[in-house]
Amino acid sequence: MIVSEQWLRDWVDVDLSAQEIADCLTNAGLEVDGVEAVGKPIDNLVVGRVLSVRKHPNADRLNLTTVDVGDQQLEIVCGASNVREELIVAVALIGAKLPNGLKIKRAKVRGIESNGMLCSASELGLEESSDGLIELDPDAEIGMRVDEYLQLDDHLIDIDLTPNRGDCLSVQGIARELNVLANGQYHPLDVGEITSQIDDEVDIDLLESDACPRYFARVVRGIDPKAATPIWMQERLRRSAVRPISAVVDITNYVMLELGQPMHAFDRAKLQGGVQVRFANDGELIALLDDSEATLSKDTLVIADQQSAIAIAGVMGGAGSSIGDDTIDIVLESAHFTRKSVAGTARRYGLHTESSQRFERGVDPMLCEQAIQRASELVLEICGGQVGPVCQSPNQVEIAGKPPVELRLSRLESLLGMSLDAEEVSNILNRIADQVSGGDGQWVVTPPSFRFDLEREADLVEEVARVKGYDNIPVAMPRIAPRSVVGTEAYITDRQVRQALVARDYREAITYSFIEPKLQQAFDSEAPVRLANPLAENMSVMRTSLIPGLVQALQFNINRQRERVRLFEVGASYHNTESGYREVKRLAGVVCGLRCPAQWGVGDAQNVDFYDIKADLDAVLSLTGQPKPIIFEQSTRFALHPGQQAVLTREVNDGTGDEESVVEIGWLGRLHPELEKQFNVNNVFVFELNLETALMARRPSFTTVSRYPSVKRDISVVVDDAVPVAALMRAVEIELGGPLRKVELFDVYRGTGVTEGSKSVSLSLELRFVDRTMTDEEVEALFSSARTVLEKEFGATLRS
């Protein structure tokens, strides 16, 4: 919101400079982005009247004008298309220096002497470009300084508002706020009721009164379609970054900037019957004022006549009912649309407007009638015409006032950490709200209708702090009672996981939880959770995996010449279930490039491969201390390379007994070649773990150290190539139980002597009793049991 200092001072008297006003607002939470001077004094720039216009004898596009500047009449050559007799203009006399650096000198133009220059708004620094001369109002005093007439001694205060302070999106709102903060003298706008002169009415039907509880309309007939917007209004609009268009449109924009109530004007002759407020028909089309066309969805609130939609409620009007150059009868509209009914509509159709910005943040529901009276007053003053009565719907909803909020001095002092005087608090509350009762330590405050953000006691505490001044609140360390947090060894923390991966040369990344549907489908076939109100189409679904975001981050780095990338992320994925949405905590990683950074002591540097990323996962999972191995089995995920992928499973106890079940805890593999081609990357490996099941740890427990020697026996078996070695080792562990202290793989062989499609697996078994020495017969029995279970479960044969 850009506010003119002079316009602001019309509303409130404060003994502060423009910069001090900006500092005051910033310190109270309304951050000011900048304060900019409108212009500097321009000497020899005066108001003039064009007395005569005639063609230049030597140029078809130039005119010779005689201009009265008060104390003399000057002959000036002018090429502007809008120059005409009796036009009041800005005249730069000889010696004037304009804001664009042009210095006016006496000169001959095509053989005719010119004694000055007639100026456009852009030449005065008021606009970036102009089509013709700036046209001043007829009441401008001839010969007076233009900078004084246009009040160029002004400053523009650019205020960046938080979403909860929509009430400050107007001069009135900023003035109210400044009055509260600086304890100034507030001058509210005195708008009386405009008596109707004609009986013309508008039929209004609120079909959706929950979304639009108040709707006012008024007919104005016989306006002057050629009426010009006064220069004072044009300047205020320009300084608020709103381009002047035409008198009626400028008036509705002016009222919006002044009071904060968005308004619209329809051409009465283009309306078919009365006005309806309804939801659009699914697929209904509307041509808009910005020359675009929108296909409406059934949850879009619209204003319509008896035939079709004529405006998107709270966003933009339609072209079919817009004000034109020949419009003589208009309908002024002033309505209150709820925040919920407008929220997301502008973003959905790509129509971010001044109106939608205000309605999305909340507009005072009691402002509609005052705004239509103010607009009527300005229309009669500038465009003439006759006004009809203010019309409203018979089923209009009566808006209840805001409920009172209680504030306790004890709570106020507790939250602010300082002592406060009850009389001072009462003074602050009376500046914030009109209805304040109580005192002496307890108040009941009824928030004004425009303060949507005042709902509970904490909100009033914040208001008192803002007005008191955050700088006046003493700085003190909070008194926090020491509390001990009981740790658990049954679960590995995220911090430990992060440290383990950072130690293996990974960097942590944070990616968006919202992703593009096509990206989601490229990595996972699961139907994602779709957002009801997405920020954009490429962020319209919730991720079911962390991998898509990490692959995009990898691509971003590779495109910037980072050849070796190792990233991980700890975050949530989101899933549809029968009972609602489910959030799953995950760890994911992506690796690409060399196994180790290039160094002088290594000849040919090798790229990372499947077993490198498997080792990284082993390092993380080893933190759990689980004696039972993680089983890596071949998987069939379509997003991974068919021959370089695995699913990770482990046995867990569900806590109901000794029975254990096998659960999937994650997967790893190389990205599918088609995906690598799509992202323009190569040799990319990824992994993902479900941290809810993967990080369950074994509680440390004491085990008696045996005084007796162990016995080691090796067993080599031939099994099918598809059998996981981990499954063989787990089967032996279960079969032999306690006497088996350790089982290790020491050889895998394929080749001569082993049938094609099979492999030889050699395991080393370490056997020991805690209480006695193991006999040869016991060793042989245990070895025989191991061989038998491998034969039964996997069809293994001893290798000769």
Helix residue ranges, H only, 65-170 = 146-149
pLDDT value at residue 483: 67
In the chain, which residues fall in CATH 2.40.50.140? 45-149
Task: Say whether 463 counts as a known binding-site residue.
Answer: yes
Determine the Cα–Cα distance for residues 48 and 93; give it in Å rounded to an integer.
10
- Arithmetic mean of pLDDT over the chain: 89
Classify residue 313 as exposed, middle or buried by CB count within 10 Å of its CB (0-12, 13-18, 19+): buried
pLDDT in tens, 603-620: 667 889 999 999 999 889
Task: Say whether 453 counts as a known binding-site residue.
Answer: yes
State the CB neighbour count (10 A cutoff) for residue 43. Answer: 12
Yes or no: say if 159 and 31 are a contact pair by the CB < 8 Å rule.
yes
Determine the Cα–Cα distance for residues 24 and 56; give it in Å rounded to an integer.
56
In the chain, which residues fall in CATH 3.30.70.380? 711-798
Query: 3-class secondary structure for 425-483?
Result: HHHHHHHHCCEEEECCCEEEEECCCCCCCCCCHHHHHHHHHHHHCHHHCCCCCCCCCCC
Which residues have CB under 8 Å from 64's CB, separation 6+?
A: 53, 54, 55, 56, 75, 76, 77, 112
pLDDT value at residue 484: 62
Direct distance between the N- and C-terminal alpha carbons of the chain, in angstroms, rounded to an integer: 87
* 506 Cα distance to chain centroid: 30
Yes or no: say if 379 and 265 are a contact pair by the CB < 8 Å rule.
no
pLDDT in tens, 241-253: 998 999 999 999 9
Answer whether residue 702 shows pLDDT above 80.
no
Answer whether residue 656 shows pLDDT above 60.
no
In the chain, which residues fall in CATH 3.30.56.10? 2-38+155-186, 405-472
Determine the Cα–Cα distance for residues 90 and 126; give it in Å rounded to an integer.
12
pLDDT band at 659 (very low <50, low <70, confident <90, very high): low
The length of the chain is 800
Rounded to 5°, angle at Cα 325 from 322 and 327: 65
pLDDT value at residue 760: 92
Rounded mean pLDDT, 51-79: 92
Residue closest to 613 by CA, chosen among 572, 644, 579: 644
pLDDT band at 159 (very low <50, low <70, confident <90, very high): very high
pLDDT in tens, 50-62: 999 999 988 888 9
Higher pLDDT, 33 or 659: 33
pLDDT in tens, 19-49: 999 999 998 888 899 999 888 888 999 999 9
Amino acid at 646: A
pLDDT value at residue 634: 83
pLDDT value at residue 475: 84
Classify residue 738 as exposed, middle or buried by CB count within 10 Å of its CB (0-12, 13-18, 19+): exposed
Answer whether residue 215 shows pLDDT above 70.
yes
Token pair, residue 620, equals 């993380």
pLDDT in tens, 338-373: 988 888 888 888 888 999 999 999 999 999 999 999
pLDDT value at residue 707: 84
Residue closest to 204 by CA, chosen among 220, 213, 216: 216
**Least confident range of 231-240, 483-492, 692-701:** 483-492
What residues form DSSP beta bridges with 160?
31
In the chain, which residues fall in CATH 3.50.40.10? 204-392
**Least confident range of 517-531, 589-603, 677-691:** 589-603
In the chain, which residues fall in CATH 3.30.930.10? 494-694
Rounded mean pLDDT, 711-725: 89
Percent of the chain topping pLDDT 90: 58
Query: 3-class secondary structure for 204-222?
Result: EEECCCCCCCEEEEEEEEC
Rounded mean pLDDT, 720-724: 86
Yes or no: say if 197 and 221 are a contact pair by the CB < 8 Å rule.
no
pLDDT value at residue 93: 94
pLDDT band at 465 (very low <50, low <70, confident <90, very high): very high
Yes or no: say if 523 and 545 are a contact pair by the CB < 8 Å rule.
yes
Fold of 494-694: BirA Bifunctional Protein; domain 2 (3.30.930)
Residue closest to 662 by CA, chosen among 652, 654, 670: 652
Q: Give me the residue label for tokens 């950490």.
A: 417
Q: Which CATH class is domain 405-472?
A: alpha beta
pLDDT in tens, 162-190: 888 889 999 999 999 999 999 889 999 88
pLDDT in tens, 111-147: 899 999 999 988 888 888 888 899 999 889 999 999 9
* 136 Cα distance to chain centroid: 42
> Which architecture characterizes domain 711-798 according to CATH?
2-Layer Sandwich (3.30)
Determine the Cα–Cα distance for residues 407 and 420; give it in Å rounded to an integer.
13
pLDDT value at residue 513: 93
Determine the Cα–Cα distance for residues 386 and 396; give it in Å rounded to an integer.
26
Rounded mean pLDDT, 268-297: 92
Task: Say whether 654 counts as a known binding-site residue.
Answer: no
> Which architecture characterizes domain 45-149 according to CATH?
Beta Barrel (2.40)
Higher pLDDT, 73 or 39: 73
Percent of the chain topping pLDDT 70: 96
Rounded to 5°, angle at Cα 184 from 181 and 187: 115
pLDDT value at residue 655: 47
Q: Give me the residue label for tokens 């360390």.
A: 477
pLDDT value at residue 311: 94
> Which architecture characterizes domain 2-38+155-186 according to CATH?
2-Layer Sandwich (3.30)
Q: Output the pTM of the full model.
A: 0.67
Q: Give me the residue label for tokens 């279930």.
A: 577
Task: Say whether 660 counts as a known binding-site residue.
Answer: no
CATH of 204-392, one of 3.50.40.10, 3.40.50.300, 3.90.1180.10, 3.40.50.2300: 3.50.40.10
Residue closest to 608 by CA, chosen among 647, 564, 561: 564
Residue closest to 360 by CA, chosen among 347, 349, 370: 347
pLDDT value at residue 664: 87
Rounded mean pLDDT, 771-784: 89
pLDDT band at 657 (very low <50, low <70, confident <90, very high): very low
